[in-house]
Amino acid sequence: MNWPKEGDLKYGGLQIREDDCSYVWQIAAEDRCEWVKGSPDCESDSVIPYPTVLFCTFSTVYPALFALGIVVFLLWLLYLFLILGTVADNFFCPSLSVIANVLHLSENIAGVTILAFGNGAPDIFTSLVAGDKEMVIIFTELIGAGIFVTAVIAGSVAIVSPFAISPKPFMRDCLFYIGAVCWIAFITKDETVHLWEGLSFIWIYILFIATVVGMQYYDNREEKRKARIPGLRDPEMLKTFLAYQETDTEMHLPMRSTAFSVKAKLDVAIAAEMASARARGESIGIDNLTSSSGSSQSHRPMGLFNEFLYDLNPINLHDWQKSSILVRALLALRAPAMLVLQLLVPVVNETAINHGWSKLLNCLQLCIAPIAVLFKLNVWRDSFGPVPVVLVFFVLGAILGIIVFIMTGRDTPKYHDAFAFLGFLSAMLVVYVIANEVMAVLQCIGFASGISDAMLGITLLAWGNSVGDLIANVAIARRGFPRMGYSACFGGPLFNTLLGLGLTWTISTLGKSDYRTKIRTSDMMPGCLAFLLCTLVSSLIYLNTVGFRARRSYGFLLFSIYFVFILVNFLSEIHYIHPLGTDHRED
């Protein structure tokens, strides 16, 4: 068969190469299935061989059938995003909050490190699983997601619940983010990243953490200098003040009946904000608590086996009763995945009864989780002499589970917090697997539909990884905590961008003999960085002008910037206008 020579045609703005799976389009339609099966460039370490499924099951011989295959892959991609967000909200965030308390981390350090990692896990892991070929997608996703979060999500919070912004934290986060974007533009100008440049992103984030801690230390010292009791000369007024202080009761969120809930992340976030408000001496309105109240203990069944079945149920009955039709549909869709996740990942949730302790389920997880790790590491076929490694780990896990079962009761054991660390590791494994599938599906959709990698990163990947934050932050704002929802719009993307790019490029340069790597950032890169700077600078100017009041006009301003950003990139993608950058290299 006479195949065209390498580089004869253009595909998605880039050259089609024989060492790329997109070369399948240069093969006759009836031979594409066999070519994809035999081409090592179409292989991936994903669980499902997506190119083979697409070009063999949905053959290009029948265009309508192939178009159906693209639609099926898009729906599957949306489902993966749903599960990715579910893992982050229901499994990562509650366990990471417990870990922060166990390690005695201050609220600020936990917020900018561990808890930020929980919220940004999808972005971080999709960055780490990406190879050099997928770097265009990852780069534009991190920058595109930054624009989406700082424009659409921040704007939505301002429109839903206008509020006053704390000037110092905002100025700190915004200026650091602006500096990071400028540094990225400088580093990527020569399309080469050295080891020290990759490490510099990590050091910038460490500097950011140090600044947060330093500011908090200064604020705490100032608070100690202020008198906590007003100087009242009237003894009766002083007596009344002290009596009020002594009788003031602390408000707490009602305990949920199970650790798994559609609002698990929201409850953990509100609980942390309430603790912070009490530390500052502020009061929490009762409306904020009743609007997010959970199940009472009376909903939890009695009996070991009944409790196990209740906790294993992939659809929380309380969530189902209180949810709309759309949320119920999402609960039903994610139910199969939730059943598997609840068997694999232990959860310690401070907002649940007994912190989510479920004796039989937690003991069973000790047996199942090690087996899942072996399958992911692809060592389940190995053996210790004549004994399969799977059997060894299953027996060890079973022994540990039996010991825990015998030594514990229905009440929370003293060492229950240890399950948070196991849950963290298990959730990391699950997110890594799902992120790997997301990247494989995106790559397949890209070369099958003609959409460039840059556009996939700006749209599908950025939206998929950020839509969960949009829902959560807007919900937090509606509960009466708009400051918390807004502050996450700057600290989160800063964390994702610096560590996502820093870790990815550092690992890539360490694999090279000269400790530097060539990168491809796409012709849309300058436009992405320019619009991200535009969003940040617009927020800086607007809020300083209006006295740090986030009004609805601020939200509409941010929406307008994002609309122009998407419009420019869409017109660039269809080659109606010239993109702001170039991607003309021969390699």
Alpha-carbon Rg for the chain, nearest whole angstrom, is: 26
Q: What is the mean pLDDT of residues 94-111?
A: 73
**What pLDDT does 282 receive?**
54
**What pLDDT does 235 receive?**
54
Query: Using one digit for the tens of pLDDT, what is the confidence trace for 181-216?
Result: 999 999 988 888 899 998 999 999 999 988 988 887
Structure tokens at 177: 């983010």
Q: At what angle do helices 135-147 and 525-545 cross, to 10 degrees?
A: 20
Structural contact between residues 294 and 261, judged by C-beta atoms closer than 8 angstroms: yes
**What pLDDT does 147 receive?**
92
Query: Using one digit for the tens of pLDDT, what is the confidence trace for 294-325?
Result: 444 457 777 788 888 888 888 877 778 777 78
Query: Using one digit for the tens of pLDDT, what is the confidence trace for 206-256?
Result: 999 889 888 877 777 766 665 454 554 455 544 554 454 444 444 455 667
E strand spans, 189-267: 192-194
Return the closest-CA partner of residue 267 out of 294, 297, 300.
Answer: 294
Q: What is the mean pLDDT of residues 149-168?
A: 89
Contacts of 131 (CB under 8 A, 6+ apart): none
User: pLDDT above 70 covers what percent of the chain?
Assistant: 78
DSSP state of 248: P
> At residue 37, what is the residue type?
K
pLDDT over 70 at 550, yes or no: yes
Query: Using one digit for the tens of pLDDT, what is the confidence trace for 492-541?
Result: 888 888 988 888 888 888 888 888 888 777 778 888 899 999 999 999 99
- Start-to-end CA distance of the chain, whole Å, equals 26
CA distance 97 to 271: 10
**What pLDDT does 76 receive?**
93
User: pLDDT above 90 covers what percent of the chain?
Assistant: 13
Neighbours of 343 (CB within 10 A): 15
CA distance 180 to 174: 10
pTM of the entire predicted model: 0.77
**What pLDDT does 370 receive?**
80
**What pLDDT does 8 receive?**
40
**What pLDDT does 533 receive?**
94
pLDDT over 70 at 125, yes or no: yes
Structural contact between residues 146 and 558, judged by C-beta atoms closer than 8 angstroms: no
CA distance 535 to 169: 17
Burial 392-428 (b: 16+ CB within 10 A, else e): ebbeebeeebeebeeebeeebbeebbebbebbbebbb
Query: Using one digit for the tens of pLDDT, what is the confidence trace for 266-303?
Result: 666 666 666 655 555 555 544 444 444 444 445 777 77
| pLDDT tier, 263 (very low <50, low <70, confident <90, very high otherwise) | low
CA distance 256 to 350: 9
Of the listed ranges 67-81, 133-147, 468-482, the one predicted with least confidence: 468-482
Contacts of 219 (CB under 8 A, 6+ apart): none
DSSP of 308-356: HHHHH-SS-HHHHHHS-HHHHHHHHHHHHHHHHHHHH-----TTBGGGG
Structural contact between residues 533 and 146, judged by C-beta atoms closer than 8 angstroms: no
CA distance 245 to 258: 34
pLDDT over 70 at 440, yes or no: yes
**What pLDDT does 582 receive?**
53
pLDDT over 80 at 585, yes or no: no
